[in-house]
Each structure stands twice: as structure tokens, then as C-alpha cells.
Structure 1
Amino acid sequence: MAKVFASIGECMVELSGAGDGLYRRGFAGDTLNTAWGVRGLSPDDAVSVRYVSRVGTDALSDEMVRFAAAAGIDTAHVGRDPVRTVGLYMITLQGAERSFSYWRDAAAARRLAADRGALEAALADADMVYFSGITLAILPPEDRPTLFTALADARARGAVIAFDANVRLRLWPDADAARAGLSDGYRAATIALPTHPDERDLFGDRSPEATARRIAALGVPEVVVKDGADPATLFADGGLTSHPAERVDDAVDTTGAGDGFNAGYLAARLAGRSPVEAALLGHRVAARIIRSRGALIGLDALAAVAAGA
């Protein structure tokens, strides 16, 4: 029987530069990016990838759902909101580095945890559940306990719970609220996938090792700290190890690199590979993504990475 990977969060309309002042429209979002990556890296008969979210009933929402479904992602647990729609973000590039502008206040995904029964049903048979700090930040505070209860129930049934803080301070009332909310996210997880510069800026960690130890102290047994082009720091089986990133001299866009690393890491762990092997696959996926524009690369390209090409 295929294992079930469930990713919870928000997919948005993406506008990325196409040259001459034009923009290319696509769909992306941290948790959808990772779900896409796990789909492309995993055999169809071994892993079922599910997206758990909420969109509107408008044409653009319909197109977004069709886009995910066409990639082989199960969208049966993407709820519909008759009032809200989907959010939008625009990527601005300076060299290969990017910045983002967002329009998401009316996003239906903000209500993805409003229906407790639907959320519990979406996770009922999941072997691995992935969510992010953005998932938490966009929810009304009164809905977050519903999400945490569903995650705790899934964990009690034996599911792996994976979390990337993906710090976006503008989505939180203030830094204290962000620290509290993201720490709760880590406490819910069995695998943590933080990014050191984000954690350093918010929590004051002086090194990736310090980030790993702080998060492990919250009760997370497996932590892999991303650090851009620098090595990833892995805490597993009670010890710390370092794993160099793949060198890339022709990067064009770093959008989605962290989400791709997460996809590689989680796909490998779901397939029964070791944390060290998972970190290496994560690096390979991230290296491939930053050679292309936008957050997503083709499923065939991901399959080639999984095959070692």
C-alpha cells in the first residue's frame, strides 16, 4: 500500500519576471512546493501526495486546483470558500537573490483549520504530515489549536510530523508572537527543517549547531538546519553532523530552494533512507531548483534527480 504524504498550507498565484517588464504567472507556495517535490521524487505506486488547503470558488481557484491535480497531487482535501479567493505574490530578483511582495489578506487558506472534522479526515491515514510557520501564521489564533490537535492525533497514530518555520515576520503581530508560535510548531514535530539565518535573526542563534540544539531541546528528535550554500547541520540519533551543499556556479533564482531541500529530505525519509542520505538528496534537489526560474521545476527533472542523473 502506498504511503501518504500530506502537506498543509497555502498555495498562491506566483508572478515571476519574464523579461522586458513582463511577468509569468504560475502557482506556488512553500507547502505546495514541497508537496510537488515529494511527488516528483517518489514513485507513484509508493507514495500518495495530498494537499490540504482551502481556496475560493472562482475560476482562478479552480485553475489552481487543476494545476496541482495534473501533477498527481491529491486535491480532495482542498476545501472551498464561497467568499474568499487565493493569494498572490510577486518575485523581484537582484541577481539570483529574490525578494517578495504579497497580497494575501483575503486568502481562503486562512480558514483551512476552521472545519475540524475536515482537517482530521485529511490526516486520518497520513504517514507523514508537513506544515510550516506560514501555515501557522496565516491562521486566526483561535484556529491554531485545531491544527495542533489534529497534528497531535496524527503523531499519536504513528505519523511523522515535519515542520519548517519558514520565518515571515510580516505575517506575525510581532517578534514575540513569532517566537512563541514557531516554538509551538517545533514542539509538534518529529522532524524539523529550519533555516539558520532566519532562526539566527529571530532567536539569536550564533551558529547552525546552536539552532539545532535549541530546537532539539524542544523535544524534536531529528533536526536538519539549512544554511544556503553552506553545509546543512543534522541532529539525529543524539549527535551533530555537517553535510556540504552541492556547489552551483550557474544559479539564476534561489526561489524555492529551501522547499526543494525539504522535499528531497522528506521523500528520502519516507522511502526509509537514513537522515544523512536524506540530507544529500535535499542538497541535490535544491541545487537543481536554483538553476531555473520560479519555485517549481518539472516533475521529469525531479525524477532525474531522484535517479541520480
Structure 2
Amino acid sequence: MAGKLLSIGECMVELMQAEGDLLRKSFAGDSFNTAYYARMFLPPDWSVDYFSAVGTDTVSEEMLDFIAKTGVGTDYIRRIENRSPGLYMIHLKDGERSFSYWRSQSAAKLLADDAGHLRSAVEASDVIIFSGITLAILAPSSVETLLSELRRAKAVGKLVVFDPNIRPRLWDDKTYMRTTISAGARASSMVMPSFDDETTHFGDTDIAATIGRYRELGVENIIVKDGAKGVTLRFGEGPDAFIASVPVDTIIDTTSAGDSFNGAFLARYVQDGNGKAAAAFAARIAAAVIGHHGALVPVENLNS
């Protein structure tokens, strides 16, 4: 069955350490990474589009060309004068990453400012995914514009997917952060949190507490990612299901582990609705991704 997936958020210029003192430039960002992996594993009769905003500068043109070459649609990406993409640098130590960001003039901060454009994109889509980073970069009024459209989409039966992906450095106020993350969950029919984020920022003592809190927010389907410990699913009124992680001999770069899981999961789930099979497939893909450098790993490397 054909369909349309829409990912909403910010794609950035990525600088990664290369040999010597050189840096390698690419483009990535949690919501785009998810779109990339969803496109990789969805059948051809599904379209994947990216909803964001970029500038009119040379780097923005390069970003649009890059996105299009991955097979992800760019028709919903707005162009904004006097703005440019944000930039981040990855720092790696023993496979774990940290980041430095430069995004004060990021055009993506204005992605929800055109409410009519946003509504058209959401109404044209069957599956919509967004993240806590998407919410964190927006002004409060734009957050409400976005969540209002997503609540409408959920109400008419679209699959609205939210990865809280909590990055505290992006939020000026932690109370507002928790309130907004909870509002994002209420607008969603599926939530894909990482347990370490939930225990750190919401005080959840175990995965059952995370699942219970999101169920109280009205989320029907919950997939809790717990790194090497595996994934726990609660779908509807059914029992919890546990999917073990895939062992990895050598971790090269954990960048995009969760994003690749999200994209691969959705690519399989929308085809047959089997959450356990989708999670098992996504766990295999995420394990392959962290064995390579960078956020966007070519498909041939994942099959090797």
C-alpha cells in the first residue's frame, strides 16, 4: 500500500573529524537522519519528504541538492532570506560522541512560521514524525502552531510519531522543556523515547514508569529504546514486548543510532503493522550503523 511519510525538523551542516587535523563536511540532523533511513528501507511506492527551512545561500543550495540525492523530497523546505543552515561538529571519544553547535541564524527555527504551508504538508501525509529537537529550536508560538496541526492529524487517524530526543542545552528553561515534551507526546499516536533521557529529565525509575507516563498522556503506542539493553514496546492494551539489542563487536560512532532505529522501524512497521518484527529489524540496522563513522551510512555498508 502506497503512502507518504513526512519528517519535520532541522538538517544541519555536519563537521566530523577526518585524518590529521582535517574536517569532513556533510549534512545531518535527527529528523533528517530518520527520513534518510526510512527512505532507504521503504518500498518505492512510498514517498518520504522533509519539512524544514533553509536560507538562500550557497550552503543551503548544497544541502538541498544533498537531500534530493538521498531520495528524500525537498518540496516542503521553505527558503528564507538572511538565514542559513545551522552547523555542528562531532567530537568522538571511544565511540561516544559530543557536539559543538552554531545555529543562532538557523532558518529551521522558522519552519512553522507559515501555518498554511505546514497544514498543506501535514494533510498530504500519512505518517508524520518530529522530535524534541524540532520543538526546542522553535519559538513558543511556533511550537503551538506545529502541535495544533499534529493534534488535528492524530484526530483524523494519521500516524503521528514523536521522539522526545531530549537535548537540555537547547532549552533555556527545564520546566518549559518538560512541559513542551509532554505536549509533543499528547499530540502523538506513537512515542519513541530513549530511557536514559527519560530517567535523567523526568525521573523515571524504570521503563514501566516511562511507559505509564506516556500512556497517561494519551499515547497509544510506545517504543522505549534502552541502548545495549534492548527495546520495550507497549502497543495499545497489549502486554509489553521486549526486543534484545544486537551485539556489536566494535562501536565506531554512536551518532544516529536512535535516528536509524526510528527510520528503519517506521519503514517496516507501516508495511504490516508488526511492531515486534519492525523493532527487531531496526535493532539490526542501528547495530550496523554504529559500526561506521557519521550519521548517514550508505546502504551497501549496512549489508556488508
Bin of the TM-score, shorter chain as denominator length? over 0.9
Match of 2:267, SS state, is: helix
Structure 1 residue runs of 4+, over 6 Å off?
Answer: none
The aligned amino acid for 1:253 is D
Alignment of 1:205-220 (within 5 A): 205-220=204-219
* TM-score, L = length of structure 1: 0.95
2:108 equivalent to 1:137: no
Per the alignment, residue 257 of structure 1 pairs with 257
**CA offsets per residue over residues 72-113 of structure 1, 9 Å max, x none?**
111000000001100000000111111011111110000000
Counterpart-to-counterpart distance in 2, 1:93 and 1:300 = 24
Task: Measure how far apart 1:284 and its partner are.
Answer: 1.0
Structure 1 residues 268-277 or 76-85, which shifts more? 268-277
Match of 2:228, SS state, is: coil
* C-alpha contact (below 8 Å) 1:209/1:240 kept by paired residues: no
Per the alignment, residue 166 of structure 2 pairs with 167
* C-alpha contact (below 8 Å) 1:212/1:233 kept by paired residues: no
Match of 2:149, SS state, is: helix
Per the alignment, residue 54 of structure 2 pairs with 55
Match of 1:79, SS state, is: strand
Counterpart-to-counterpart distance in 2, 1:124 and 1:273 = 22
Per the alignment, residue 32 of structure 2 pairs with 32
Match of 2:232, SS state, is: strand
Which runs of 5 or more structure 2 residues have no equivalent in the other structure?
none
Match of 2:18, SS state, is: strand
Alignment of 1:234-273 (within 5 A): 234-238=233-237, 239-273=239-273
**CA offsets per residue over residues 51-83 of structure 1, 9 Å max, x none?**
000000001001101101011111000000001
Counterpart-to-counterpart distance in 1, 2:13 and 2:2 = 30
2:82 equivalent to 1:83: yes
Counterpart-to-counterpart distance in 2, 1:152 and 1:178 = 19
* C-alpha contact (below 8 Å) 1:209/1:233 kept by paired residues: no
Count of matched residue positions in the alignment of Structure 1 and Structure 2:
303
Counterpart-to-counterpart distance in 1, 2:163 and 2:267 = 15
Counterpart-to-counterpart distance in 2, 1:112 and 1:21 = 35
Counterpart-to-counterpart distance in 1, 2:286 and 2:210 = 21
Which runs of 5 or more structure 1 residues have no equivalent in the other structure?
none
The aligned amino acid for 1:136 is L
Match of 1:271, SS state, is: helix
Task: Measure how far apart 1:301 and its partner are.
Answer: 4.5
Counterpart-to-counterpart distance in 2, 1:53 and 1:196 = 27
Match of 1:114, SS state, is: coil
Task: Measure how far apart 1:19 and its partner are.
Answer: 2.4
Per the alignment, residue 277 of structure 1 pairs with 277
Q: Over aligned residue pairs, what C-alpha RMSD do you find?
A: 1.2
